[in-house]
């Protein structure tokens, strides 16, 4: 909470609630650039945009959720309908696909990038309002799509400027099949939740957590050894096949994992950016096949920056139609915050103006306007400083906002039908024709 603006006399405090992120323009511009890069990548792979209302019937949102979600949901206090803010984009997608089933074409490839809200308990780096950037392919069980998804993840993070990251892949059937083989299928859900914490909490703590469910020590050891099988993808697959696990589910899972792994190379993802990791379980119950997590290798503490998986049945609460699919989600707000914290977001310009037009005297306003119009017509973002009194103040404005160029219009410029262009980074100033300025901008892009 920021106290500096606290007012005496009856002014209202200008702070925002905790758990909400609000950025200055320079950071907003950096945030929006990331948002755009993700969006463009999604579009490049043929995902179509949809948007769903932030507010839905509470009954629709809470169908597939446990108690935790119900506690976190923001309910609206209005007489009449029982409404709430959506807490993710997957539940609304399921509802959307059922509602518009007849008008959609399947496989339905959609992206959706919206804010969601969760009344989480206060914690540093946890947000109550955040952007999710989701893609899903609905209405196909083709395993090639499971292999395509990591190629989208790869392209997204490459386009965001990352190089050193790993997309970890696993398959829920492999895990559940192994539990079946150990005869602890009924505990599968709880065990997977515990395994998900292996990296953060270590072997001992996870063993303790599993023990609580009454699973004997020898089986706990088997589980922990199993999820920590290491090696190249081929080695892991062949180890899995040699374990002699007697479960059809397990065998199907290994086959799928193997196929995804083979296909992934074809999709052009470098080997270093991808690996099988049997400890990836993903908390959500509704995943039934391939699951993904993505880690920045230099910042493992950030946790998974892009997660998802395959599901057999997206919308069972709304329809009898079977809708299998696969999807992922990027929590952009948290990612941005963590990158900023790690010093990886450099605050740049506080505006998108490429040129500030400065007048030596207000009598040159019509010349300034003509110059601005020409620049804008050429696709150059141009801004005029209308208060022409103090030149120093005008330059200070440009430099505070980090506008890269200033055009100065004065007596001489108007007489010669030219403008003076100052490059703010070097201080260099040159009189030239406006056409020359425009070609210069086109050259430097």
In the structure encoding, which two tokens stand for residue 16, read together?
Answer: 């925002």
- Shortest gap between Cβ of 303 and a copy of itself (angstroms)? 23
Q: Which of 56, 88, 134, 180 binds a copy of itself (CB under 8 A)?
A: 56
Least CB distance to a copy of itself at residue 43 (A): 5
Tokens, residue 435: 């056409």
Our CB check for a copy of itself shows the closer of 22 and 218 to be 22
Q: Give the span between the Cα atoms of 263 and 240, in whole angstroms.
A: 19
**Residue ranges in 57-86 that form contacts with a copy of itself under rule CB under 8 A:** 57, 59-60, 63, 74-78, 81, 83, 85
351 binds a copy of itself (CB under 8 A): yes
Measured between alpha carbons, how far is 263 from 248 in angstroms, rounded to an integer?
A: 22
445 binds a copy of itself (CB under 8 A): no
Tokens 């030219």 identify what position?
418
Nearest approach in angstroms of CB 304 to a copy of itself is 25
CA atoms within 13 A on the CB side of 299: 17
- Quote the CA–CA distance of 327 and 390 in Å, as a whole number: 56
Q: Does 415 bind a copy of itself (CB under 8 A)?
A: no
What is the chain's length? 445
With contact defined as beta carbons under 8 Å apart, do 182 and 219 qualify?
Answer: yes
400 part of the interface to a copy of itself, by CB under 8 A: yes
270 near a copy of itself, rule: CB under 8 A: no
Residue 280 sits in the site that holds a copy of itself (CB under 8 A):
no
Instruction: State the nearest-atom distance from the C-beta of 401 to a copy of itself, in Å.
Output: 6
| Euclidean distance between CA atoms 151 and 165, whole angstroms | 13
The rounded distance, in Å, linking the Cα atoms of 293 and 307 is 4
Separation of CA 99 from chain center = 26
Nearer to a copy of itself by C-beta: 4 or 242? 4
x/- contact string, 97-126, with a copy of itself (CB under 8 A)?
A: -xxxxxxxx-x-xx----x-x-x-------
Site for a copy of itself contains 347 (CB under 8 A): no
DSSP-derived secondary structure letter, 401: T
Which residues within the stretch 8-27 sit at the binding site for a copy of itself (CB under 8 A)?
Answer: 9, 11-17, 20-25
Based on the shown chain and the rule CB under 8 A, indicate whether residue 144 belongs to the binding site for a copy of itself: yes
CB-side neighbour CA atoms (13 Å) of 151: 18
* C-alpha triplet 375, 378, 380: angle, nearest 5°: 60
132 vs 352: CA distance, rounded Å: 25
* Strand locations in 289-363 (E): 290-296, 307-311, 325-331, 355-359
In the complex, minimum distance from the CB of residue 230 to a copy of itself, in angstroms, rounded to a whole number: 29
Closer of 94 and 224 to a copy of itself (Cβ): 94
Alpha helices in 84-142 (DSSP H): 90-99
Our finding on whether 361 is near a copy of itself (CB under 8 A) is no
Is 262 a binding residue for a copy of itself by CB under 8 A? The answer is no
Q: Are 302 and 338 in contact (CB under 8 A)?
A: yes
Find the binding residues for a copy of itself in span 31-50 (CB under 8 A): 32, 43-50
Q: Which stretch binds a copy of itself (CB under 8 A): 2-10, 206-214, 288-296, 436-444?
A: 2-10
**CA 27 to CA 346: how far, in whole Å?**
8
Closer residue to a copy of itself in complex, CB, 112/247: 112
Closest approach of a copy of itself to the CB of residue 279, in Å:
29
- Work out whether 350 is an interface residue with a copy of itself (CB under 8 A): yes
Q: Which residues make Cβ contacts (< 8 Å) with residue 176, sequence separation at least 6? A: 185, 188, 249, 253
In the complex, least distance from residue 153 CB atom to a copy of itself, rounded to whole angstroms: 14
- Using CB under 8 A, pick the residue from 87, 96, 165, 405 that binds a copy of itself: 96
Site size with a copy of itself, rule: CB under 8 A: 100
């Amino acid at each position: 909470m920021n106290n500096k603006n606290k007012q005496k006399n009856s002014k209202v405090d200008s702070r925002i609630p905790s758990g909400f992120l609000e950025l200055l323009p320079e950071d907003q511009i950096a945030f929006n650039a990331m948002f755009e890069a993700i969006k463009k990548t999604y579009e490049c792979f043929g995902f179509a945009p949809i948007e769903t209302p932030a507010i839905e019937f509470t009954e629709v949102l809470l169908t597939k959720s446990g108690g935790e979600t119900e506690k976190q949901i923001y309910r609206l206090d209005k007489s009449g309908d029982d409404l709430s803010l959506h807490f993710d984009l997957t539940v609304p997608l399921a509802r959307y696909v059922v509602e518009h089933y007849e008008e959609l074409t399947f496989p339905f490839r959609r992206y959706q990038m919206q804010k969601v809200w969760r009344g989480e308990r206060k914690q540093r780096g946890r947000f109550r309002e955040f952007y999710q950037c989701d893609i899903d392919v609905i209405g196909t069980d083709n395993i090639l799509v499971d292999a395509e998804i990591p190629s989208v993840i790869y392209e997204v993070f490459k386009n965001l400027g990352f190089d050193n990251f790993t997309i970890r892949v696993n398959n829920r059937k492999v895990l559940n099949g192994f539990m079946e083989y150990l005869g602890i299928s009924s505990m599968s859900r709880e065990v997977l939740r515990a395994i998900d914490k292996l990296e953060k909490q270590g072997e001992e703590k996870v063993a303790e957590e599993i023990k609580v469910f009454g699973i004997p020590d020898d089986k706990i050891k088997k589980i922990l050894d199993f999820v920590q099988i290491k090696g190249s993808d081929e080695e892991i697959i062949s180890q899995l096949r040699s374990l002699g696990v007697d479960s059809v589910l397990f065998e199907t899972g290994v086959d799928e994992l193997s196929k995804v792994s083979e296909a992934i190379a074809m999709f052009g993802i470098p080997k270093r950016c991808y690996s099988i990791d049997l400890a990836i379980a993903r908390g959500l119950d509704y995943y039934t096949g391939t699951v993904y997590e993505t880690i920045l290798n230099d910042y493992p503490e950030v946790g998974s920056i892009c997660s998802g998986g395959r599901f057999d049945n997206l919308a069972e609460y709304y329809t009898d139609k079977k809708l299998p699919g696969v999807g992922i989600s990027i929590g952009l707000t948290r990612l941005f915050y963590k990158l900023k914290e790690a010093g990886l977001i450099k605050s740049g310009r506080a505006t998108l103006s490429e040129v500030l037009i400065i007048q030596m005297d207000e009598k040159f306003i019509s010349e300034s306007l003509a110059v601005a119009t020409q620049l804008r017509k050429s696709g150059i973002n141009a801004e005029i400083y209308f208060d022409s009194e103090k030149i120093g103040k005008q330059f200070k404005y440009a430099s505070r906002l980090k506008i890269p160029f200033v055009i100065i219009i004065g007596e001489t410029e108007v007489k010669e039908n030219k403008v003076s262009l100052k490059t703010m980074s070097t201080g260099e100033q040159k009189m030239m024709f406006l056409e020359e300025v425009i070609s210069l901008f086109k050259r430097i892009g």
